[in-house]
């Protein structure tokens, strides 16, 4: 599990809020995030014009405000986020003082600046200069109280070349690309049908035992009945939830309950939209797309056998003639359940990403 430090200086709380949002996204992605508020001896007055005059002057002259935090060991972190407000177009002196005190070397930095709407180019560029000997991977400029959706992409770590090379090795050993041509067309058609199904408003959200189960188009996936019949052979060997002869949605919600999660814990971690998730919740006959089921399996950290069983309940299977399936299989076998890492790897291979946003 990756360890991330989010260090920030915040005078009036806006940068702190962003730091907390970053931490919660990293935790959602399965990482460990420590927040560190940089505390200083000298600050401008909190009210009146003195705030801007003194603070602006302190930032322009880069006065060292005196760091109060005790020793901070940066070496135990894989990535460091460093956040700052914009003061007179600059970073407050606390940021450079923090860098001097901790003296990072060879670390991966992600810088975020929070302004009142003004220019912050110098804020970030001067901080990058102060971080020589490290790698500044990404920077982001935000406005106080503004939208924070951009943070999703900001917090993602780029997939390492080593990981991509390892995935490639797995693909070379397992991908049966000689079948690819025949396999692509029905796969794509199934995706179109399922995407349309996901987009469709539900006509009858209430569960109804009398209503016949909707059959999947022949050739693309099997009907739910077939899946149920085949599933009987798993009884006995599978853990708790898998032993019961249930449909896709019943199994999914049982797995969520077993983990003591709320629905939101699951769909957020899976990168699945609330709408698609509530379709699954409200209509037991609703069948999500394969990429949605795989995303949910990743969020639930199922092993390969369990993933195959969950897929089967929705009428799908993992195939070695699908490049995307081989890639996802690699991550499941290696217990790397970070959906963003998987999606970046799928994207590198021009494959459809998991989830349904
Ligand atoms: C001393 C001082 C100087 C500031 N200078 C700028 C500025 O040059 N440009 C700007 O857009 N906002 C400026 N602001 C507004 C802050 O950048 C903005 O309110 C920021 O979100 C504050 O972050 P914080 O709440 O974490 O301290 C200034 C605020 C202070 C207190």
* Residue 117 CA, closest ligand 1 atom number: 11
Query: Residues 230-280: pLDDT tens digits?
Result: 333 333 344 567 766 678 999 999 999 999 999 999 998 898 999 999 999
Closest CA to 255 of 241, 239, 270, 271: 241
Q: Is the pLDDT of residue 211 over 60?
A: no
Mutate to test the pocket of ligand 1, among 9, 45, 94, 115 (most ligand atoms within 8 A of CB): 115
Judging by DSSP bridges, how do beta strands 32-37 and 79-85 pair with one another?
A: unpaired
Q: Please state the rounded mean pLDDT for residues 331-340.
A: 92
Pocket test for ligand 1, best of 85, 89, 145, 148 (most atoms within 8 A of CB): 85
List CB contacts of 203: < 8 A, sequence separation 6 or more: none
Portion of the chain with pLDDT greater than 70, in percent: 81
User: Mind listing the pLDDT tens digit for each residue in 88-114?
Assistant: 999 999 999 999 999 999 999 999 999
Write down all domains in the chain, each with its CATH number in brackets: 3-158 (3.40.50.360), 165-348 (no CATH)
Alpha-carbon distance of 23 to 37, in angstroms, equals: 13
Q: Is the CB of 145 under 6 A from ligand 1?
A: no
Q: Report the separation in Å between the CA atom of 220 and the middle of ligand 1, taken as the mean of its atom positions.
A: 56
Say whether pLDDT at 160 is over 90: no
The tally of CA atoms less than 13 A away on the side-chain side of residue 189 is 11
Gap from CA of 107 to ligand 1 centroid (Å): 27
- What's the CA gap between 247 and 244, in Å, rounded? 9
> Which atom of ligand 1 lies closest to the CA of 9?
26
Q: Which atom of ligand 1 has the smallest separation from the CA of 18?
A: 26
Rounded-to-integer distance, Cα 7 and Cα 290, Å: 39
Residue whose entry in the numeric block shows the structure tokens 């992409």: 153
Do 313 and 251 contact (CB within 8 A), yes or no? Answer: yes
Q: Which atom of ligand 1 is nearest to the CA of 12?
A: 25
pLDDT of 340:
82
CB of 90 sitting under 6 A from ligand 1: no
Q: Is the CB of 11 under 6 A from ligand 1?
A: yes
Distance 22 CA to ligand 1 centre (A): 20
- Say how many Å lie between the CA of residue 51 and the centre of ligand 1: 10
Q: How far is the CA of 89 from the centre of ligand 1 (A)?
A: 8
């Amino acid at each position: 599990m990756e360890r991330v430090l989010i260090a920030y200086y915040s005078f009036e709380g806006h940068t702190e809020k962003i730091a907390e949002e970053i931490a919660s996204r990293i935790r959602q992605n399965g990482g460990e995030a420590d927040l560190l508020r940089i505390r200083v001896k000298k600050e401008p007055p909190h009210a009146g014009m003195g705030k801007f005059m003194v603070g602006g002057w302190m930032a322009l002259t880069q006065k060292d405000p005196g760091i109060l935090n005790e020793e901070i060991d940066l070496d135990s972190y894989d990535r460091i986020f460093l956040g700052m407000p914009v003061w007179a177009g600059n970073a407050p002196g606390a940021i450079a003082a923090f860098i001097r005190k901790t003296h990072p070397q060879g670390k991966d930095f992600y810088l975020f600046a929070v302004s009142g709407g003004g220019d912050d180019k110098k804020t970030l560029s001067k901080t990058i200069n102060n971080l020589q000997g490290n790698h500044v991977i990404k920077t982001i400029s935000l406005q106080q109280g503004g939208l924070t959706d951009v943070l999703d992409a900001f917090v993602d770590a780029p997939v390492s070349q080593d990981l991509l090379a390892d995935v490639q090795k797995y693909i070379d050993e397992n991908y049966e690309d000689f079948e690819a041509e025949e396999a692509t067309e029905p796969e794509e058609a199934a995706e179109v049908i399922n995407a349309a199904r996901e987009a469709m408003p539900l006509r009858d959200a209430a569960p109804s035992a009398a209503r016949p189960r909707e059959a999947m188009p022949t050739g693309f996936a099997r009907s739910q009945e077939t899946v149920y019949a085949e599933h009987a052979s798993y009884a006995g060997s599978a853990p708790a939830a898998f032993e019961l002869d249930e449909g896709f949605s019943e199994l999914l919600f049982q797995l969520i309950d077993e983990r003591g999660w709320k629905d939101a814990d699951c769909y957020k971690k899976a990168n699945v939209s609330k709408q698609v998730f509530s379709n699954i919740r409200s209509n037991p006959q609703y069948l999500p797309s394969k990429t949605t089921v795989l995303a949910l399996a990743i969020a639930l950290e199922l092993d390969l056998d369990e993933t195959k069983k969950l897929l089967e309940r929705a009428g799908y299977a993992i195939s070695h003639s699908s490049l995307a399936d081989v890639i996802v299989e690699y991550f499941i076998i290696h217990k790397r359940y970070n959906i963003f890492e998987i999606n970046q790897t799928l994207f590198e291979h021009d494959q459809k990403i998991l989830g349904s946003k």
